[in-house]
Structures are given as C-alpha cells and as structure tokens.
Amino acid sequence: MTTPYERLGGSEPLRAIVDDFVSRVVQDLLIGFHFRATDVEGLKRHEYAFAAHHLGGPEAYGGRPIAEVHLPLKILGGQFDRRRELLEQTLRDHDAPPEVVAHWLEVTDRLRPQVTGDAAGRCGD
C-alpha cells in the first residue's frame, strides 16, 4: 500500500507544492498580513516537514505544537477557511491525485480546534 506522500511523487513534488502554497498564503490579501514578520523560508521548511510527516513521508515534524503557536494569534474561522481554500487550489493546480487532496484537507480540518476557536466561515462574513 502506498502512502499519500508516495502517490504525490515524493519530496520534489511536495516541495514545489509547499513553496507555491506558502507564497500564495503570504501574498493573499485576506490572510497574508499574518505573515508580515515571518521568516518565509523557515515557514516553508515547517510546512514541508509537517505535510511530509502527515502524508506518510520519512520526514519527522519537530515544530512546536500547533495550538501553542496558533491560538495566541486569534485566527478567525474565515481566515482558517481561506488558508484551506488556498491549499486546495494549490493542490489542484499541481495536479495532486484526488485521494491525496482529500487526505491533506482532512488533516487540515482536524487542526481547526488547534488553530482557531471560531466556527467555519468566510473572510468578510
């Protein structure tokens, strides 16, 4: 049985997806302001390690706990959803297999309570 990481094609395609995704997030008009003072290359490394780990790759994620990092930022539900939309768009633009897209979005959805206390919504609601 292959992992989502393997079905995606391994490290190289995953790095391309993460690089594109992080670029979209930090440039986004609705949520990019959260990342003004962020080391973008460091963010890409963390996003890559987190994604690779949760997709079944060999990389270990050694970052701080998600809730410890995100809950103090008071991220709104609509902002969480916007990030999810950007992730889904990026995965589809990179022709990720549908089952990989579904798996990655499920992982993302499970993180909601660790990132925001808000219910689902849209930016601007």
Domains held by the chain: number: 1
At a CB cut-off of 8 Å and minimum separation 6, what does 75 contact? 34, 115, 116, 118
73 falls within a domain: yes
pLDDT tens profile 13-51: 999 999 999 999 999 999 999 899 899 999 999 999 999
- Give the span between the Cα atoms of 71 and 81, in whole angstroms: 15
120 falls within a domain: no
pLDDT of the residue at 125 = 46
The predicted model scores a pTM of 0.89
Q: How confident is the model at residue 61 (pLDDT cuts 50, 70, 90)?
A: confident
On the question of pLDDT at 90 being above 80, the answer is yes
Name the residue range of residue 16's domain: 4-115
Q: Residue 41: which CATH number?
A: 1.10.490.10
CB-CB contact of 80 with 31 (8 Å): no
Tokens representing residue 27 in the block: 């440039």
121 falls within a domain: no
On the question of pLDDT at 119 being above 90, the answer is no
